[in-house]
Amino acid sequence: MKATQTPIRSGFAALLIGATSTTAFSGTFDSGADHEDLHRRAAVHDTWMRERLMPAGGVMSGQFTDDTYTQVRSYGGERDPAIWTGAYLAAQALRLQVTGAADAADQVAETVRVLHRWWRISGDSGYLARFAAPADSPEAVLATLPAGDPEVIRDVPFEAALWYWRGRVSRDQYQGVLLGMSLAYEATSDPDIRQLIREDVATFAEQLMRRDRKRVKVIINGSSNFSTTLELQHAVYTDDETPDGIPILNIRTSPFEAEGSGMVVFWPNPSEFARQIPGLGWLPDVILPSQAIQLAATFRVALQVTEGVPGYEARYAALLAHYDEQVENWLDIATGWENTNTCGASYHGLNVAFMPMYHWVRLEDDLMRRARLQRDVLRDALWSAVEDHKNVFFSFIYASQAAPEDSVEAVIEEHLAQLALFPNAPQTAEPLDVRWKYPEDPECPGLSAVATDVDDRAGATFIWERHPWTLTDPGAPDVAFAGVDYLLAYWLGRQAGFIEGSGRVTVTQNGTGRGTVTSSPSGIDCGSICEAEFDLGSEVSLAAVAAPGSVFTGWSGDPSCPYLSPLDGETSCIATFEPLPAGATTIHAAVLPFARAVSLGESATAYASVINSGDSIATGCSIALPGGLPASFGYQTTNAANTATGTPDTPVDIAPGATQGFVFAITPQGAMRATEIAPVFDCANTAPAPSHAGLNTFILSAASTAPPDLVAIGVTPSGDGVVRIPGRDGIGFFAVAAVNIGSGGTITASADDGGRDLPLSIRVCETNAGGEWIACGDSLTRTFAPDETVYYTVLVSGTGRRVAFDPAANRLFLRLQAAGMTVGATNVAVTTP
């Protein structure tokens, strides 16, 4: 069942091509697939898995109480959560790279924390748990960690609680975790999450690099049993899994195998170490190419996460020196990789070669070495063995990293068709009998002679590591699988450009008034009608601003308008603008503070003032959220001291010329990345208050882990919220105090004009409480502690051109961001003579 290797152009000319190109495919592949359907399927698999099949943050399969698949009775796959959870992290990291979605960033951060716990819970350097859960977890979770199981360690004090964890980890579990951490490091901008990844990966690589003299119990061919001291390298150890804390090395001489208890070895040539054992000095070299690939990839990821990092210079240099010393030997061994499986046995061994091969190739920065990896290992060894397996994951790894001269379009087209056959969530364990459809292999009775299509395969949590020749399977009632394999293949295809990933948003203007609609991210900026393409899965928000003499009255069209989060396909939104009647009672509104950041389940509160600028009573005045925002909302009136009065969520009248205060609360239902919300301020006998960015909008961010939450207030020298620059070449400023009422974190402060391109030069300075300058720059980064107050001054210089007095439009903003998420902001108006 090994595919026949196809000759592809090689030699010195091809090598030169590899030295000048690093990708085999660019652009979007037009395969005719229903790309919106592929995306929606990914979204459903993602949601379904998170809600049901990620106990304690780890991916498993589940047996449910009935065929509604609502309540889990028990979990399965308890020995594989590390590799599957690492694959989930990789999928979320790819999704974050492609879409920038806030909940993708949230899932990356949360999953890195889970895996960080699994790296650390044993207390042994570089040793990874297969799974861990608190001792007070639900019974279905604890049943995966039973007492008496020799792999399970119970009642471990960790993180101020008792935990159970599963050990006796194998090399394959590391491969999924390293894949996820490498991609997460690229995707996230959160310095704290990057540091967790960096320390875990670097610690693991440094342990592998360490050469130790270890007392080891040796068992040869199941009988000879003695202890000896060996000098070992490329191994990790734990003393939790052996009776006396001494690792055990089991040796079988024919055929040669070396496996440990209390130790995991990564030995491309185990004879190098086994010859030290008395009586085994005669052993010939035993070459294991997959372990060479795994080792090399580990060090490449360790170099990726430590390069250029202050404080890691010496560690990076040591890792690089070891890699440079060993890599040519590893590469020579890797070129000899072969598919040694017979009739599908141990097919997972192919998966744990492809996973590390993916990041070895893409991270290798030596062009000649990368060319050998592309041709001699990835193409001629790995891919040639599986090209007829209909394995979407393997095909996308190959096609995304192929040598420049390799034609991959047919490979992509064939495997996109297979991805489209993947079942919708839930992926269940249905009985299988496809003997009528596929010929039996005479060399492998009971198996197909050709790879079956993806929709003709038995259910599994990760079908890409299951062989594709099964003809019959009894199924398992009420069992469902996580779908992480679909997510990983789909998002790898999106990130590589194999799957078209855009959705069209069309905005139409309705009514007899006038106004403009813009989008974030940019793309739409129009009057009557316009449209733009945005990434499927990304967060798109629309903002409507009425022209003078008109008022924006609301959104219609798709129910998600104006907050398309996430965008899941072609969407149409209608913005309605109406003229203001002459002499009508009008209202205006302001909001303070301008931005908040909260954890999920927490409410973000802010204050609003509504002014009745008309000559008659404004009746039944209220505040509401615009449509489409995934959040709950409430409001209440306040008095002059900002103390709540009246009855919650009850409209009130506002006298002519009067101002009414309100407090409102927004509770997000999911992760949100810096969404600028335009609350609807309306009265029964008026048009809604005009919306102006910064003046009466509100930026809200939400994450599963409590973020910093900076309440920022800006003041100007005139005290009226306007920076009046003295002369068109003059200098003005405004001051800001920001208090952190959330968690601690690293914050970057920057200033801008909201995209107005005003003729101004803007810099931000940190000061102390007395106004003395500490540092200035285009942006400033510092750590905020909880309850800490920091002071800034924003300097504004004119550049010779006039800035009109238009407080609703011409404004300056100070923004405070943590890991790319807005967690605080304030703004003021600006003008020059």
Predicted TM-score (pTM) of the model is 0.86
| Per-residue confidence (pLDDT) for residue 33, from 0 to 100 | 66
Residues whose CB is less than 8 angstroms from the CB of residue 348 and which lie 6 or more positions away in sequence, other chains included: 172, 465, 466
pLDDT at 809 (0 to 100)? 87
pLDDT recorded at residue 706: 85
191: preceding bond cis by omega (within 30 degrees): no
Q: What is the pLDDT of residues 634-646, one digit of tens each?
A: 999 999 999 999 9
Q: What φ, ψ does residue 138 adopt, rounded to 5°? A: -60, 155
Q: DSSP readout, 293-353?
A: HHHHHHHHHHHHHHTT-TT-HHHHHHHHHHHHHHHHHHHHHHTT-----STTTTTHHHHHH
Question: Pseudo-torsion of CA 400, 350, 374, 257, nearest 10°?
Answer: 150
CA distances from 353 to 46, 251, 293, 338 (A): 26, 23, 7, 10
Please state the separation of Cα 507 from the chain's center in Å.
30
Residue 683, pLDDT above cutoff 90? yes
* CA-wise closest residue to 351 among 228, 179, 218, 112: 179
Contact 180, 187 (CB under 8 A): no
Helices (H) and strands (E) in the chain, counts: 16, 45
What local confidence, expressed as pLDDT, does residue 26 receive? 46
pLDDT digits (tens, 9 = 90+) for 387-436: 999 999 999 999 999 999 999 999 999 999 999 999 999 999 999 999 99
- Cβ-proximal residues to 577 (8 Å cutoff; 6+ apart), any chain: 509, 510, 511, 512, 513, 514, 515, 544, 546, 547, 550, 551, 552, 553
Query: 736-765: b or e for each residue (b if 16 or more CB lie within 10 Å)?
Result: bbbebebbbbbbbbbbbbeebebebebbbb
Whether residue 243 is predicted with pLDDT greater than 90 in this model: the reply is no
697-714, pLDDT tens digit by residue? 999 999 888 899 999 999
| Residue 686 burial (C-beta neighbours within 10 Å; 0-12, 13-18, 19+) | buried
Rounded CA-CA distance 827/751 in Å is 9
CA distances to 540, 554, 559, 575 from 572, rounded to whole Å, are: 12, 14, 10, 10
What burial letters (b/e) apply to 139-149, b meaning 16+ CB within 10 Å? ebbbebbeeee
pLDDT of residue 686: 86
CB atoms within 10 A of CB 11: 8
Do the Cβ atoms of 716 and 684 come closer than 8 Å?
no
Task: Give the side-chain half-sphere CA count within 13 A for 200.
Answer: 27
Backbone angles phi, psi at 355, to 5 degrees: -55, -55
Q: Which residue has the higher pLDDT, 63 or 585?
A: 63
| 3-class SS of residue 446 | strand
For residue 572, give the H/E element and its range.
strand 571-579
Mean pLDDT of 755-783: 92
Whole-angstrom distance, CA of residue 53 vs CA of residue 49: 5
> For residue 288, what are its two tokens?
């294991």
CB 643 within 8 A of CB 705: no
Euclidean distance between CA atoms 631 and 624, whole angstroms: 11
Any residues with CB less than 8 A from the CB of 472 and at least 6 apart, and which? 432, 433, 434, 435, 446
Other CB atoms within a 10 A radius of the CB of residue 408 amount to 22
Could you give the CA distance from residue 164 to residue 176 in angstroms, rounded to a whole number?
22
Query: Over the stretch 49-58, which tens digit does the pLDDT of each residue have?
Result: 999 999 999 9
Distance CA 344, CA 389 (A): 11
Q: What pLDDT does 819 receive?
A: 82
Q: State the Cα–Cα distance between residues 300 and 356, nearest whole angstrom.
A: 10
Name the residue with higher pLDDT: 412 or 563: 412
Q: Are 104 and 538 in contact (CB under 8 A)?
A: no
Q: Which residues make beta-bridge pairs with 251?
A: 220, 258
Does residue 442 have a cis bond before it (omega within 30 degrees)?
Answer: no
Cis ω before 289 (30° cut-off from 0) = no
Verify cis geometry, omega within 30 degrees of 0, for the bond prior to 431: no
Mean pLDDT confidence for 499-516: 92
Cβ contacts of residue 482 below 8 Å, gap of 6+? 45, 49, 53, 54, 59, 60, 61, 84, 88, 427, 461
pLDDT at 821 over 80: yes
Mapped to the 3 state alphabet, what secondary structure does 78-106 carry? Answer: CCCHHHHHHHHHHHHHHHHHHHCCHHHHH
Structure tokens at 57: 């943050």
Span 526-555, mean pLDDT? 85
**Nearest partner of 69 among 632, 523, 480, 414, judged by Cα:** 480
pLDDT at 255: 84
- From the list 305, 295, 362, 306, the residue with the least C-alpha distance to 328 is 295
Residue 142 confidence (pLDDT)? 96
Which pLDDT tens digit goes with each residue over 288-337?
999 999 999 999 999 999 999 999 999 999 999 999 999 999 999 999 99
- Band of residue 32 on the pLDDT scale cut at 50, 70, 90: low
In the chain, what are the helix, strand and coil shares in percent, each to the nearest 5?
25, 30, 40
Residue corresponding to tokens 């919306």: 691
List residues bridging with 146 in a β-sheet. none
Per residue in 605-625, pLDDT (tens digit) is 999 999 999 889 999 999 999
Band (pLDDT 50/70/90 cuts) for residue 22 is: very low
Which residues are within 8 A (CB) of 799 and not within 5 positions of it... i.e. 6 or more apart?
728, 729, 759, 760, 761
Per-residue burial over 461-495, b if 16 or more Cβ lie within 10 Å, else e, is: bbbbbbbbbbbebeebebbbbbbbbbbbbbbbbbb
Contact between 734 and 795 under an 8 Å Cβ cutoff? The reply is no
